[in-house]
Amino acid sequence: MILDGKVPSGPIETKWNTYKDHINLVAPANRRKHTVIVVGTGLAGASAAASLGELGYNVLALTILDSPRRSHSIAAQGGINGAKNYKNDGDSIYRLFYDTVKGGDYRAREGNVYRLAQVSVDIIDQCVAQGVPFAREYGGLLDNRSFGGAQVSRTFYARGATGQQLLLGAYSALMRQVDAGTVKVLPRREMLDLVMVGGRARGLLCRNLISGEYERYAADAVLLCTGGYGNAYYLSTNAGNCNVTAAWRCARRGAYFGNPSFAQIHPTCIPESGTHQSKLTLMSESLRNDGRVWVPRQTGDKRNASDIPESDRDYYLERRYPAFGNLVPRDVASRAAKAVCDEGRGVGATGRSVYLDFADAIKRLGEDVVRERYGNLFDMYQHISGENPYQAPMRIYPAIHYAMGGLWVDYNLMSNLEGLFVLGEANFSDHGANRLGASALMQGLGDGYFVIPYTLGNYIGGTRLEAVTTDHDAFKEAQDAVDKRIKGLLASKGGKSVKELHRSLGRVLWDRVGMARNRAGLQQALKEVTGLRGEYQKNVRVVGEGQTINKQLEYALRVDDYMEFADVLVRDALDREESCGCHFREEYQTEDGECQRNDAEYAYVAAWEFKGRDQEPALHKEPLEFKSAELKQRNYK
Amino acid sequence: MSTMTVKVRVWRQPSPDKEGRLVDYTVGNVVADMSFVEMLDVLNEQLVAAGEDTVAFDSDCREGICGSCGCVVNGVPHGPGTGKTACQLFMRAFTDGDTLVVEPFRAKAFPVLKDLCVDRGAFDRMIAAGGYISANTGAAPDGNQLLIGKEIAEKAFDAAACIGCGACVAACKNASAVLFVSAKVGQLSYLPQGQPERYRRVVRMVDQMQKEGFGACSNEGECEAVCPKEISTLHIQIMQRDYLRSVLRGA
């Protein structure tokens, strides 16, 4: 099936305003009659729930955590892009749009990206009004810094904790609506199924993570703001509770999964130190503003960094990409790091890391300025590694970080299931095959504050929604199925822990669907994933009981979903016989080892339809058109 | 890499209404680069292998920013060392054969849910009682219309860095939450955006704090000593001064 993204017609500059001028509206007095469920309270969910509450809708906001303030958006460090052009350096809405489409290697939808660039300026204003303590210059104006994939400074930041400050801003707006009685927050709840009535998303079933009870909620629309699926790879920079379950359960109900193989690998993470490792920690890309990436020129050079003279160092990013230098996009920087390590020039005990060196910056700016800019990141590095980055260079290596793929949505952010909207990282729409730094925060907040209040109103205002209550058979059917699944898992007393099997799955994905992919490896991965899925069913061991806090059971349900999801992730990588952004197929590369896209055959969004466990999914395509950003080979040289 | 073995004495409590007790475990193959919560993961894998219920503890980002984790290790919230959460406590802080006594954060306002998990919903309710600036989406002026000096922005950030973990409450003999409340009150009081609601906010938040069953401040500073973000007790003075002013003004 050919999918329609429903992008409004007309010039790209006026699409969004024209759209807003002609959509259906819901009158203020009627809004409270409509219940909306928001799943997830990160930047997208909290901003959506708060904004819809302000409008007067009756909002239920669910989070798996004990408070909305802890959602993983909080860990974003570097900043948020906004096309303000405060720096007078040539930025504009068009340029942010262009950089984002190009950065995504021409696999995002133009209409959505342009809208995102347009609302980016409003986001900054909104956050300032909420009291977000952005970095300021001495004169009191907002400060900016530069980020990868751009030649302007458009990134607003709050030290190295921008995500925290933006989330706390959205969270405070959310709690204000709790105070006002328009939003009810339901913490420690995990969505385990989507409830469809009459072909529309009309509610969900969740598990109360304290009591283990099932809870049913009916609504006029469901907004999924549940983040990305990086943890399918076992080790990632994601928080422990990030998972694919809510999205995958929607996929099982018929929502298409868009571009699942587009998983971003971030170049600057603290390298793995052993098998005990439960997560990898990101060091903000902003560090590449002042840090220089290098490895020894010769293979097998085991000298300490300080003993290696300049002449024996290879600043490989500056050498290969003189125009962008250390600030090339993430996919390019990650592959370059892998390449030098594969050549045997990696550093550290494992040889799987490269240096990120601040010696020049400290010499140029002084230690105090470096501390002011990156102090908390340096402290974090020191806590984790036990090494002092003011004295010796950091060691970094790429790690899974962000999911560009996600549930397919149209211009309204609505999935192919009517009434199911998907916001933020959970959808596929804005970043194509590679996300630029400081754009995730922008998208989460753009979707929540400035897009969904309009598109949701358009849906509710233009749809006759019959009353649905939680005693509808569809809720009972969902609850019975979830109960059966949970009882099955609790009865599983096999030989391997959930963690062991998850680690095995992650190893397959990282090795074969990571920074470099090829047909034979992907075919092998497909077999291995099928094998692991079978093993999981037969040999997993789940301890504890259902009617209490049981983190093993929560984990077991999530890994069960990764086992199914991994199949479509691998198939997507196999189907796309080209290289683009994060998706580097070794068969398709230019002479100097860069991505070789195939626009004639693959300029589409791959949207996968689940057909049943161990069944081949169906592929639907949304053709991508590039009218405002000309299709070109990316060049950061 | 050399490994060590530690003894872990953990608070096990099946549910809020049942009694809890300390249970002893031995965890081997611990390495220096392992975080404290990764050590608990190893313990839980042992328990899974033995078919026993695992130790329930909250943990999410594992990089010290979400505020999910938190327990008392050897009598200190988040364990030995300063300026870090339990997930940023590394086993290099301990030596082979050490005993780690691990308990939940204890306060009347933080009921234990299971083992090391506590209910910190009171923190959310205090924020809902005015810990915000009323600024509806879409109505904001240009961000640069408001000039905010660098020093003010930095001061507001210092207060805003609070991660809401609750260690301050657990460290205080009165189980007071003033450091948490004053961090939010302080952040918004320093900024020009926060002025219109300044006095209303402090009264409502402090009243809610008392309603939740947190104790009073007796100025001993244990909260600051254990705060992972090293939030200063100076904000408490701002809060108390603003509260007094509000009461005198009849806000």
Domain identity same for A81 and A198:
yes
**Residue A497 and residue B45: Cβ atoms within 8 Å?**
yes
**Residue B247 is inside which H or E element, if any?**
helix B234-249
Cα separation, A40 vs A61, in Å, equals 7
Are A310 and A337 contained in the same domain? yes
Bridge partners (DSSP) of residue A276 are none
Which residues from B are below 8 Å from A137, CB to CB? 150
Same domain, A581 and A525: yes
Q: Does A113 touch chain B (CB under 8 A)?
A: no
Q: How far is CA A558 from CA A234, A243, A247, A495, in A?
A: 12, 6, 11, 19
Chain B touched by A83 (CB under 8 Å):
no
- Establish if A128 belongs to a structural domain: yes
Contact status, residue A400 vs residue A236, Cβ threshold 8 Å: yes
Q: What is the Cα A96 distance to its own chain's centre?
A: 19
Which CATH number does the domain housing residue A247 bear? 3.50.50.60
Show which of residues 69-88 on chain B sit within 8 Å of chain A, judged by CB atoms.
83-84, 88
Same domain, A397 and A545: no
**Of the partner residues B129, B138, B147, the one whose CB lies closest to the CB of residue A179:** B129
B126 CA: distance to closest CA in chain A (Å): 9
Domain boundaries, chain B: 4-103, 120-249
Helix (H, G, I), strand (E, B) or coil at A263: strand
A131 residue type, one letter: G
Residue numbers of chain A with a pLDDT score lower than 70:
none
Same domain, A41 and A188: yes
Q: Please report, for the domain that includes residue A331, its CATH number.
A: 3.90.700.10
- The SS3 of residue A462 is coil
Q: List CB contacts (< 8 A) between A550 and chain B.
A: 53, 56
Give the domain range for residue A309: 265-401
What's the pLDDT score for residue A593? 86
Residue B1 has pLDDT above 70, yes or no: no
Determine contact: A3 vs chain B, CB below 8 A: no
Number of CB atoms found within 10 A of residue A100's CB? 30
pLDDT at B180: 98
Chain A positions touching B13 (Cβ under 8 A) are none
- Provide the shortest C-alpha distance from residue A251 to chain B (in Å): 25
Residue A519 lies in a domain: yes
Nearest Cβ partner for A72 among B61, B90, B156: B61
From chain A, the residues in CB contact with B113 under 8 A are 210, 549
Task: Please indicate whether, in this complex, the C-beta atoms of B68 and A66 are within 8 angstroms of each other.
Answer: yes
Q: Which residues pair with B72 in a beta bridge?
A: B77, B103
Residue A131 has its nearest CB partner, among B59, B144, B188, at: B188
Classify residue A33 by its DSSP letter.
T
Regarding whether A417 and A344 lie in a shared domain, the answer is no
Q: Does B51 touch chain A (CB under 8 A)?
A: yes
Put simply, whether A497 touches B (Cβ < 8 Å) is yes
Residues A330 and A195 in one domain: no
User: Does some domain include residue A229?
Assistant: yes
**Rounded Cα gap, residues B67 and A266, in angstroms:** 24
Best of B66, B113, B198 to disrupt the A interface by mutation (most A CBs within 10 Å)?
A: B66
Domain endpoint, select from A384, A401, A418: A401
pLDDT at A284 (0 to 100): 85
Sheet with A200-208, side-by-side order of all strands: A189-197, A200-208, A214-218
Cα of B103 vs its chain's centroid, Å: 15
Q: Are residues A40 and A182 in the same domain?
A: yes
Question: With an 8 Å Cβ cutoff, are B143 and A134 in contact?
Answer: yes
B138 — phi, psi (to 5°)? Answer: 100, -10
What count of CB pairs under 8 Å joins A to B? 229
Let me know whether A96 and A190 are in one domain. Answer: yes
Does a structural domain hold residue A634?
no
Distance set, CA A113 to CA A108, A223, A455 (Å): 7, 20, 16
Does residue A513 form part of some domain? yes
Q: How far is A534 from chain B (nearest CA, A)?
A: 20
Judge whether A631 lies within some domain: no
CB contacts of A395 in chain B (<8 Å) are: none
What's A175-224 look like in SS3?
Answer: HHHHHHCCEEEECCEEEEEEEEECCEEEEEEEEECCCCCEEEEECCEEEE
If DSSP codes are grouped into helix, strand and coil, which group holds residue B98? Answer: coil
Find, in chain A, the residue whose alpha carbon is nearest to that of B165.
Answer: A70
* Contact with chain B for residue A631, Cβ under 8 A: no
Q: Which two tokens stand for residue A474?
A: 């569809």
Among all residues of chain B, which has the CA nearest to that of A184?
B128
Q: Which residues of A touch B153 (CB under 8 A)?
A: 133-136
- What would the pLDDT profile of B66-93 be if each residue is shown by its tens digit? 999 999 999 999 999 999 999 999 999 9
- CA distance to partner chain A, nearest, from residue B179 (Å): 17
- Our CA-based measurement puts residue A71 at a distance from the nearest CA of chain B, in whole angstroms, of 7
Strand partners, A191: A206
The yes-or-no verdict on residue B251 having pLDDT over 70 is no
Alpha helices in A413-550 (DSSP H): 440-445, 452-461, 473-490, 498-512, 519-539
Q: Which fold has domain B4-103?
A: Ubiquitin-like (UB roll) (3.10.20)
Cα separation, A358 vs A354, in Å, equals 13
Of A4, A112, A79, A82, residue with least CA distance to A629: A112
- pLDDT tens for each residue of B166-187: 999 999 999 999 999 999 999 9
| ipTM score assigned to the predicted complex | 0.98
**Most B-contacting residue of A238, A384, A445, A451 (CB-CB within 10 A), to test interface:** A384
* CB < 8 Å to A266, chain B: none
Amino acid in the structure at residue A580:
C
Distance from CA of A588 to the nearest CA of B (A): 36
Note whether A343 contacts B: Cβ–Cβ < 8 A: no
Query: For chain B, what is the total number of helices (H) and then of strands (E)?
Result: 8, 7
Q: Do A164 and B62 touch (CB under 8 A)?
A: no
Are residue A433 and residue A580 in the same domain, yes or no? no
Q: What is the DSSP string of A463-487?
A: S------TTSHHHHHHHHHHHHHHH
Q: Of A239, A278, A450, which has the smallest distance from its Cβ to B41's Cβ?
A: A278
The shortest C-alpha distance from B171 to chain A (Å) reads 21
CA-angle at B210, arms to B207 and B212, nearest 5°: 110
Q: For residue A128, list chain B residues with Cβ-Cβ distance below 8 A.
A: 140, 143, 146, 193
Contact B95, B4 (CB under 8 A): yes
Q: What is the mean pLDDT of chain B?
A: 97
Tokens of B27: 């965890």
User: What is the CATH number that goes with domain B120-249?
Assistant: 1.10.1060.10
Task: Name the nearest CA neighbour of A212 among A195, A183, A192, A196.
Answer: A192
Cβ neighbours of A74 in B, within 8 Å = 61, 65-66
List Cβ neighbours of B150 (8 Å cut-off, separation of 6 or more): A136, A137, A138, A140
CB-CB neighbors (< 8 A) of B131 in chain A? 172, 175
Q: Which two tokens stand for residue A475?
A: 């809720």
- Identify whether A295 is part of a domain: yes
Q: Which residues on chain B are in Cβ contact (under 8 Å) with A138? A: 149-150
> Distance between CA atoms of B73 and B51, rounded to whole angstroms?
26
**Alpha carbon of B195 to those of A134, B132, B199: distances in Å?**
18, 11, 8
Among the partner residues A175, A383, A499, nearest to B45 by beta-carbon distance: A499
- Which among B37, B59, B140 is the nearest to A125, CB-wise? B140
pLDDT tens across A578-628, in order? 999 999 999 999 998 889 999 999 999 999 999 999 899 999 999 999 999
Put simply, whether B93 touches A (Cβ < 8 Å) is no
Whether the predicted pLDDT of B33 surpasses 60: yes
Total of domains in chain A: 3
- Is the CB of residue A133 less than 8 Å away from at least one CB of chain B? yes
Identify whether residues A279 and A299 lie together within a single domain.
Answer: yes
Residues 6+ apart with CB under 8 A from A120: A81, A82, A83, A93, A96, A442, A446
Q: Which two tokens stand for residue A462?
A: 């233009």
Here the tokens at position B62 are 């594992």
- State the Cα–Cα distance between residues B30 and B6, nearest whole angstrom: 8
Report whether A239 contacts A197 (CB < 8 A): no
Query: What count of Cα atoms within 13 Å lies in the side-chain half-sphere of residue A166?
Result: 38
Q: Looking at CA atoms only, how far is residue A563 from chain B in angstroms? A: 20
Two tokens, residue A115:
């809208």
Do B4-103 and B120-249 agree at the fold level? no
B88 and A384 in contact by Cβ < 8 A? yes
Asked, for residue A163, whether it belongs to a domain, the answer is yes
In chain B, which residues have their Cβ closer than 8 Å to the Cβ of A140? 147-150
Chain B residues near residue A130 by CB distance under 8 angstroms:
132-133, 135, 193
CATH of the domain at A548: 1.20.58.100
What does the buried/exposed string (b/e) look like for A164-201 if buried means 16 or more CB atoms within 10 Å of the residue's CB?
A: bbbbbbbbbbbbbbbbeebbbbbbbbbbbbbbbbeebb
Nearest to B157 among A65, A158, A176 (CB): A158
Enumerate the residues of chain A whose CB falls inside 8 A of the CB of residue B154.
133
In contact, B37 and A278? CB cutoff 8 Å? yes
- The reply to whether A195 and A54 lie within a common domain is yes
Are B61 and A75 an interchain contact pair (Cβ–Cβ within 8 Å)?
yes
Strand pairing of A221-224 and A420-422? parallel
